[in-house]
């Protein structure tokens, strides 16, 4: 499709041109509206899940921060936030460090059984979460990890690995091997070469892989429900219980905060992606 | 270059070739090794280095992820609980014809097994396991736990009436225990130690003389010692009534206690045993079947026995059969009753809903991907953010948003009532049913369709469409014959991705699906955390996993896992 209608376009073509844009607009609306709607509702002064007449009349009385206050003062939510913030970073660290090493290994020119290894490494992303959760619940109860902090961290690290592998291998595709050879010829040992030459160049990929791993753990709810116990109740778990049992608009306040967090993460990832594409001359933007 | 030098050069080259030919050995590297060998060595080192870098992660994933999956597969066929809890009964039932109620021998075996199981408090676990196969068995086992002491009580009384010494633990120890163990035990009792009592040992020869009694007494002694909180010693406890039952059965079967001479047995015990052997003929026999029927009628009926026999193997296909609405009965594999067929329906619904969601994603995703790939890069990057933001937003946030929007008092219904499309008392039911699941999941999975489609469409050169039009094709023909076929790989990739993700979904159907909009995953979760039928959960999970792996393999064949892109 061209961006502008040619002057000789027929009525039918004009209709289609604008009609298509309207259809796309509606689909974009479908994509964004649910997320946007949550934001004003979270400032509801009432304990309702819908717009009150006062809110529609933009009556300042109808808006309040009480649900945010509830989130910040309720010990359950605070504990959940703390749990999320102690589980996700450690899981991310594990998957990023192991995943980056493995991605470097996978990008070598001769890797035996590369297909099979790749299939295993990607599998946590493909296997349905409920199956991973069931298996981990059974297995971790056998070895005494079920219901422990480390059980949840290990499970989340496993789930985050495919994202690290995918993003870091994608960055390594454009990595110029002669740079490491140059470093070696100038007398650097492999460790120095890795940290001074290779790492800075693939860092954007590593960081965005890490962000993916972080968001995987931070958003994850199925596995933590089964592998964790009440002491590991995370933010999504608390939201899930809230949605199933006692519906409170505090969930919408938390949802709004999470939307803001994801906007932040998305911005960082996009900036990293564009930077690395620009550095490699793959994209003019 | 003159002709002469050229001639010299070619002559030199020819000489070099002759030299090479004259050299019989292979080509050598600088260090004097054959070149081929040295290259191979370098290649091997490179491979090893690559593997060494991958190994930590691979081991990590094998332990934290692959082992759990294998464990689940194992659990879906594992059935050791029956043969572990009722070992003697399972062996005794091997030759049972399943036509009449079992013989007294089998009831005796059951009595020994059940008493040991009750003392170890594992009989209810077996009850709930067998209850999956035949409803009502769980309560039989629970009731038997309370009534097991009645079994053999008649014999215990008669033995004690005959000689009160049978009530004394010491009598039994003298008869049953290994003299070495008695010495060890005495030494242990003399020291005030934290260590556990030495594990009970049967006297040599006693198992040949009184096989059932030795077996029953041993399980009694071991059960006492194995008590977790406060272990007891067989030296201080009167044996269970089932031990007396065993003694009666051994003696009336004609155990040759007269032949006992020799140092292993204390004289007094042997005499007592001989007296008892002479007396058992005059004992009032107790009907075991009647005793068990008194505890629970179910023991005098066929179902419990056929069920135990059918599920006595350590491995079973029972869970898998149950997962596809079949059941293993003594007469073979049968379809379960009509009103209990839920799993095939659930699999079918999971498939149909996932296909619907996939179809909707194609319909909604295709125009967006088309638009994005044909706009100038700057605009399309801006619009792409509208796709990526939902992709990055927490799943729970999106699901709760749909709960807010779709419920009866929710935003959409309010809007429809306000416009006047829907009467206030006839608000649409859009949540807790299939509509809720399909709408919410289409929204959640749409980015997974748009992104692969977009990455394929970006590579289709716009000049092809122009060429088609310049050759006389209408817009529609050009799209249908030129553009669309080139975008099919993207559709394929997106469809498989969305379908794989969709059939395993749990959270969203759980929250917005109600009773009719749930998937097979919700049933798996139910069996893990509520009904505790882990075997069935594992079997359902294995079937789902097999399905996903087939699709994954297809995806790998069509797209290649290396080509998965994020964002």
For the segment A167-198, what is each residue's pLDDT rounded down to a tens digit? 888 888 778 888 888 998 999 998 898 888 88
> What is the C-alpha separation between A273 and A174, in angstroms, rounded?
13
The tokens describing B212, both together, are 């059932």
- How do the pLDDT tens digits run along chain B, 567 residues long? 445 455 555 565 566 555 555 556 677 877 778 888 888 988 898 889 889 999 999 999 999 999 999 999 999 998 888 888 888 898 888 888 878 888 888 888 888 898 888 888 888 888 888 888 888 888 888 888 888 888 888 888 888 888 888 888 888 888 888 888 888 888 888 886 777 788 888 888 788 888 888 888 888 888 888 876 667 788 888 888 888 888 888 888 877 776 555 445 556 777 788 888 888 888 888 888 888 888 888 888 888 888 888 888 888 888 898 898 888 777 778 888 877 888 999 999 999 999 999 999 999 999 999 999 988 888 888 898 899 888 888 888 899 889 888 888 888 888 888 888 888 888 888 888 899 999 999 999 999 999 889 988 988 898 998 899 899 998 889 999 999 999 988 898 889 889 989 998 999 999 888 888 889 999 999 999 888 889 999 999 999 999 999 988 888 787 766 665 554
Supply angle C-alpha A11, A12, A14, rounded to 5.
Answer: 65
Q: For residues B471 and B530, is the Cβ–Cβ distance under 8 A?
A: no
Predicted confidence at residue A26, as pLDDT, reads 95
Predicted confidence at residue B202, as pLDDT, reads 85
Q: For residues B65 and A122, is the Cβ–Cβ distance under 8 A?
A: no
> In the predicted model, is pLDDT for residue A62 greater than 90?
no
Q: Is B445 on the interface with A (CB under 8 A)?
A: no
Which of A20, A38, A270 lies closest to B367 in CB terms? Answer: A20
SS3 of B446-514:
HHHHHHHHHHHHCCCCHHHHHHHHHCCCCHHHHHHHHHHHHHHHHHHHHHHHHHHHHHCCCHHHHHHCC
> In the predicted model, is pLDDT for residue A243 greater than 90?
no
Q: How far does the CA of residue A246 sit from the closest CA of chain B (Å)?
A: 12
For residue B393, which of A258, A32, A240 has the smallest C-alpha distance? A258
- Once rounded to an integer, what is the mean pLDDT over residues A239-251? 82
Q: How many CB pairs under 8 A join A and B?
A: 283
Which of B56, B66, B505 lies closest to A98 in CB terms? Answer: B56
- CA A171 to chain CA mean position, Å: 18
- CA B209 to chain CA mean position, Å: 44
Q: Is B266 on the interface with A (CB under 8 A)?
A: no
Predicted confidence at residue B22, as pLDDT, reads 53
Q: Residue B228: which residues within 8 A CB-CB, separation 6 or more? A: none
SS3 assignment, position B177 = strand
Do B385 and A105 count as a contact with CB atoms less than 8 A apart? no
Predicted confidence at residue B412, as pLDDT, reads 87
Which region, left, alpha or beta, applies to residue B514 given φ > 0 means left and ψ of -120 to 50 means alpha?
left
Q: For residues A96 and A210, is the Cβ–Cβ distance under 8 A?
A: yes
SS3 assignment, position A234 = coil
Predicted confidence at residue B265, as pLDDT, reads 52
- Once rounded to an integer, what is the mean pLDDT over residues A38-56? 79
B328 membership: H or E segment, kind and range: strand B326-329
Q: Residue A138: which residues within 8 A CB-CB, separation 6 or more? A: B68, B71, B72, B75, B534, B538
Predicted confidence at residue A284, as pLDDT, reads 39
Q: For residues B457 and B449, is the Cβ–Cβ distance under 8 A?
A: no
- CA A16 to chain CA mean position, Å: 37
Which of A118, A134, A166 lies closest to B537 in CB terms? Answer: A134
Predicted confidence at residue B1, as pLDDT, reads 41
Q: Please, which residues 59-78 of chain B have a Cβ atom closer than 8 Å to chain A?
A: 60-62, 64-72, 75
CA dist list (Å): B271 to A70, B252, B260: 82, 17, 10
Q: Residue A167: which residues within 8 A CB-CB, separation 6 or more? A: A205, A206, A208, A209, A212, B566
Confidence of residue A262 (pLDDT cuts 50, 70, 90): confident
> What is the C-alpha separation between B200 and B442, in angstroms, rounded?
65
**Alpha-carbon Rg of chain A, whole angstroms?**
24
Confidence of residue A54 (pLDDT cuts 50, 70, 90): confident
Interface test with B, best of A126, A136, A264, A267 (most B CBs within 10 A): A126
Q: For residues B296 and B144, is the Cβ–Cβ distance under 8 A?
A: yes
> If you measure CA to CA, which chain B residue comes closest to A141?
B68
Write the DSSP symbol of residue B202.
B
Do A50 and B394 count as a contact with CB atoms less than 8 A apart? no
Do B562 and A169 count as a contact with CB atoms less than 8 A apart? yes
Q: How far does the CA of residue B364 sit from the closest CA of chain A (Å)?
A: 7
Q: Is B407 on the interface with A (CB under 8 A)?
A: yes
The tokens describing B171, both together, are 């009598």
Do A102 and B58 count as a contact with CB atoms less than 8 A apart? yes
Q: Which residue would you say has higher pLDDT here, A59 or B543?
A: B543
CA dist list (Å): B25 to B12, B17, B20, B42, B166: 21, 14, 9, 21, 93
CA dist list (Å): B457 to A25, A96, B376, B460: 19, 32, 14, 5
> If you measure CA to CA, which chain A residue comes closest to B68?
A135
Average pLDDT over chain A reads 87
Do A50 and B58 count as a contact with CB atoms less than 8 A apart? no
> What is the C-alpha separation between B392 and A263, in angstroms, rounded?
8
Q: Show the domains of chain A with their CATH numbers.
A: 76-247 (1.10.3720.10)
> In the predicted model, is pLDDT for residue A205 greater than 90?
no
Which of B379, B407, B510 lies closest to A49 in CB terms? Answer: B407
Predicted confidence at residue A19, as pLDDT, reads 93
């Amino acid at each position: 499709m061209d961006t502008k209608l040619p002057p000789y376009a027929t009525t039918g073509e004009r209709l289609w041109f604008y009609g298509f844009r309207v259809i796309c607009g509606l689909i974009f609306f479908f994509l964004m509206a649910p997320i946007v709607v949550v934001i004003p509702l979270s400032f509801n002064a009432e304990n309702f899940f819908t717009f009150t007449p006062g809110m529609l009349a933009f009556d300042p009385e109808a808006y309040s921060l009480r649900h945010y206050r509830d989130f910040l003062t309720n010990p359950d939510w605070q504990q959940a936030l703390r749990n999320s913030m102690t589980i996700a970073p450690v899981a991310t660290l594990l998957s990023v460090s192991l995943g980056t090493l493995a991605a470097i290994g996978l990008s070598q020119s001769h890797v035996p059984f590369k297909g099979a290894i790749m299939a295993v490494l990607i599998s946590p992303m493909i296997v349905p979460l409920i199956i991973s959760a069931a298996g981990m619940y059974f297995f971790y109860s056998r070895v005494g990890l079920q219901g422990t902090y480390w059980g949840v961290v290990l499970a989340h690290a496993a789930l985050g690995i495919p994202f690290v592998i995918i993003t870091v291998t994608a960055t390594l595709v454009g990595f110029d091997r002669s740079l490491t050879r140059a470093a070696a010829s100038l007398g650097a040992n492999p460790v120095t070469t890795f940290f001074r030459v290779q790492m800075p160049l693939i860092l954007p990929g590593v960081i965005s892989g890490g962000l993916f791993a972080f968001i995987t753990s931070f958003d994850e709810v199925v596995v933590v429900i089964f592998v964790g116990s009440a002491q590991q109740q995370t933010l999504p778990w608390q939201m899930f219980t809230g949605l199933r049992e006692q519906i409170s608009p505090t969930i919408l306040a938390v949802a709004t905060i999470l939307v803001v967090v994801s906007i932040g993460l998305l911005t960082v990832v996009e900036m990293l992606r564009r930077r690395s594409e620009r550095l490699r001359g793959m994209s003019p933007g | 270059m003159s002709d002469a030098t050229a001639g010299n050069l070619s002559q030199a080259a020819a000489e070099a070739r002759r030299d090479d030919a004259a050299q019989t050995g292979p080509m050598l590297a600088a260090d004097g090794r054959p070149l081929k060998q040295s290259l191979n060595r370098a290649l091997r080192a490179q491979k090893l280095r690559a593997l060494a870098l991958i190994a930590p992660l691979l081991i990590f994933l094998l332990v934290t992820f692959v082992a759990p999956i294998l464990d689940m597969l194992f659990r879906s066929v594992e059935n050791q609980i029956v043969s572990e809890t009722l070992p003697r009964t399972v062996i005794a039932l091997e030759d049972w014809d399943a036509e009449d109620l079992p013989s007294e021998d089998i009831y005796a075996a059951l009595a020994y097994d059940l008493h040991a199981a009750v003392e170890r408090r594992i009989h209810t676990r077996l009850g709930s396991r067998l209850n999956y196969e035949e409803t009502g068995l769980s309560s039989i086992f629970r009731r038997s736990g309370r009534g097991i002491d009645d079994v053999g009580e008649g014999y215990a009384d008669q033995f004690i009436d005959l000689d009160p010494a049978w009530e004394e633990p010491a009598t039994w120890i003298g008869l049953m225990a290994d003299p070495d163990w008695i010495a060890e035990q005495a030494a242990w009792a003399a020291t005030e130690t934290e260590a556990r009592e030495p594990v009970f040992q049967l006297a040599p020869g006693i198992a040949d003389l009184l096989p059932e009694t030795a077996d029953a007494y041993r399980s009694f002694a071991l059960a006492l010692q194995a008590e977790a909180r406060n272990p007891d010693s067989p030296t201080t406890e009167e044996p269970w009534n089932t031990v007396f039952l065993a003694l009666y059965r051994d003696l009336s079967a004609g155990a040759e206690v007269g032949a006992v001479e020799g140092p292993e047995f204390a004289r007094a015990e042997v005499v007592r045993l001989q007296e008892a052997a002479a007396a058992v003929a005059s004992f009032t026999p107790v009907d075991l079947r009647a005793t068990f029927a008194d505890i629970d009628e179910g023991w005098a009926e066929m179902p419990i026995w056929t069920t135990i026999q059918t599920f006595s193997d350590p491995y079973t296909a029972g869970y898998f059969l149950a997962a596809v609405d079949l059941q293993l009965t003594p007469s073979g594999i049968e379809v379960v009753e009509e009103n209990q067929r839920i799993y095939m329906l659930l699999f079918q619904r999971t498939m149909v809903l996932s296909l619907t969601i996939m179809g909707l994603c194609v319909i909604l995703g295709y125009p967006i991907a088309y638009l994005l790939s044909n706009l100038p890069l700057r605009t399309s990057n801006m619009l792409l953010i509208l796709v990526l933001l939902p992709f990055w937003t927490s799943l729970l946030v999106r699901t709760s948003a749909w709960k807010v929007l779709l419920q009866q008092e929710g935003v959409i219904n309010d809007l429809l009532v306000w416009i006047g499309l829907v009467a206030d008392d006839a608000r649409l039911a859009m949540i807790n049913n299939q509509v809720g699941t399909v709408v919410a999941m289409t929204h959640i999975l749409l980015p997974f369709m748009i992104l692969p489609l977009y990455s394929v469409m970006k590579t289709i050169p716009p000049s092809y469409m122009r060429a088609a039009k310049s050759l006389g094709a209408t817009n529609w023909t050009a799209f249908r014959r030129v553009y669309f076929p080139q975008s099919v790989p993207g559709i394929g990739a997106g469809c498989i991705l969305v379908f794989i993700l969709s059939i395993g979904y749990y959270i969203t159907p759980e929250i917005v699906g109600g009773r009719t909009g749930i998937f097979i995953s919700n049933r798996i979760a139910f069996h893990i955390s509520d009904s505790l039928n882990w075997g069935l959960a594992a079997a359902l999970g294995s079937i789902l996993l097999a399905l996903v792996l087939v699709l994954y393999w297809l995806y790998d064949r069509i797209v290649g896992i290396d080509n998965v892109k994020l964002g």
